[in-house]
Amino acid sequence: MLVLLDQTRLPVEEVELFCTDVPALVQAIRTLAVRGAPLLGLAGAYGVALAAARGYDVGQAADELAGARPTAVNLSYGVRRALAAYRTAVTGGADDTGAAAATLAEARALHAEDARASERMARNGLALLDELVPGGGYRVLTHCNTGALVSGGEGTALAVVLAAHRGGLLRRLWVDETRPLLQGARLTAYEAARAGVAHTLLPDGAAGSLFAAGEVDAVLIGADRIAADGSTANKVGSYPLAVLARYHNVPFVVVAPTTTIDLATPDGTAIEVEQRPAQEVTELTGPRPGPDREGATGIPVAPLGTPAYNPAFDVTPPELITAVVTETGVASPVTGSSIAALAARPGPVRAQP
Ligand SMILES: CSC[C@H]1O[C@H](OP(=O)(O)O)[C@H](O)[C@@H]1O
């Protein structure tokens, strides 16, 4: 059984979700009860371990898990890592119990690697901020949620923010609410408050006036897939921030583990951007299926049946990204070769399975 914190219930309630089978975990991923690229990788790996422990068809379970959400490459990476461990154990003569144990051990190894990667991203990101904004007093704008809720450690971009905060170098964290599912308002504000970080929430549409007022020293965001040329898919609304940052000469920095780099995807046009239900736009909170909330929907904010365009992500081209920070270093300028170098450098995360 997998026990997860249901992120759709935050910040109002801290509710544990018990996934006793793969369909339940797939549903949790699809409804963003569990979300965020690195955590999706861990969920995928633990899901394969769950399938092995329950005696399911592990190959089929791996396909279902990897297909639950298409954009974050970490999900398929975590699934592949665990599936490879399972198959190696079986080939080596392990019985069902032994193969399940080996799969769980691989998921736990990925979990520990992600935590170490988070620490190194924080260190590398802080060193970059010191270069980009000498003297500290950083006013950082972030989008969506990239803290411990998406990671085996303290997250990606928010891990850098926390390190700056602990070092007395952060003046303000500007938190984009991040419509339509409000990961910023619900989750980043929740994490920042718990950490004692000085933060201010803003409507996504207000970011432009902050740049114009000279109130932003750097933008730090996460990523769901970084293509071989450095094109980066991240929560919808990231690309407009990159354009604003370039116009106002503000550094725009992507923070992600190397498990988010996908050298098999050549450029941004090859990244599949997940399209999500219109209800998430036309209703606040959107449908929140679950045993105690069957058919629950949100508060209508548009006439019933209003068509909606709801891409979960957008893609920022490399030329608008100041730097990509991973646990293995910093790529700047962002090019195919600088991205490949990050992916190739040894770090706490094992190479592609
Ligand atoms: C650092 S990974 C977090 C990443 O994932 C979010 O997407 P979602 O909430 O749909 O899983 C968003 O793109 C964040 O930047």
The per-residue pLDDT for range 39-67, each reduced to its tens digit, is 999 999 999 999 999 999 999 999 999 99
Flag whether 246 is in a domain.
yes
Do 34 and 168 lie in one domain? The reply is no
> Tens digits of per-residue pLDDT, 188-240?
999 999 999 999 999 999 999 999 999 999 999 999 999 999 999 999 999 99
Do 213 and 233 lie in one domain? The reply is yes
Give burial (CB, 10 Å; 0-12/13-18/19+) of 118.
buried
Confidence band, pLDDT 50/70/90 cuts, at residue 347: confident
Enclosing domain of residue 92: 2-113
Flag whether 122 is in a domain.
yes
Q: Whose CA is closest to atom 8 on ligand 1?
A: 36
Q: Which atom belonging to ligand 1 lies closest to the Cα atom of 156?
A: 1
Whether pTM exceeds 0.80: yes
Flag whether 28 is in a domain.
yes
- Cα separation, 331 vs 337, whole angstroms: 9
> Tens digits of per-residue pLDDT, 74-103?
999 999 999 999 999 999 999 999 999 999
Task: Phi first, then psi: give them for residue 121, nearest 5 degrees.
Answer: -65, -40
Q: Cβ neighbours of residue 72 under 8 Å, at least 6 residues apart?
A: 36, 37, 40, 41, 224, 225, 260
ipTM above 0.90, yes or no: yes
Which pLDDT does position 271 carry in this prediction? 97
Residues 233 and 314: beta-carbon distance below 8 Å: yes
**Which CATH number characterizes residue 298's domain?**
3.40.50.10470
Do 24 and 128 lie in one domain? The reply is no
Do 223 and 137 lie in one domain? The reply is yes
Structure tokens at 4: 């997860």
Do 204 and 218 lie in one domain? The reply is yes
Do 200 and 297 lie in one domain? The reply is yes
Do 160 and 266 lie in one domain? The reply is yes
Q: Is 235 annotated as a binding residue?
A: yes
Do 121 and 105 lie in one domain? The reply is no
- Cα separation, 283 vs 183, whole angstroms: 15
Do 93 and 176 lie in one domain? The reply is no
Q: Is 234 annotated as a binding residue?
A: yes
Number of structural domains found in the chain: 2
- Cα separation, 151 vs 200, whole angstroms: 23
Flag whether 353 is in a domain.
no
Q: Which atom belonging to ligand 1 lies closest to the Cα atom of 157?
A: 1
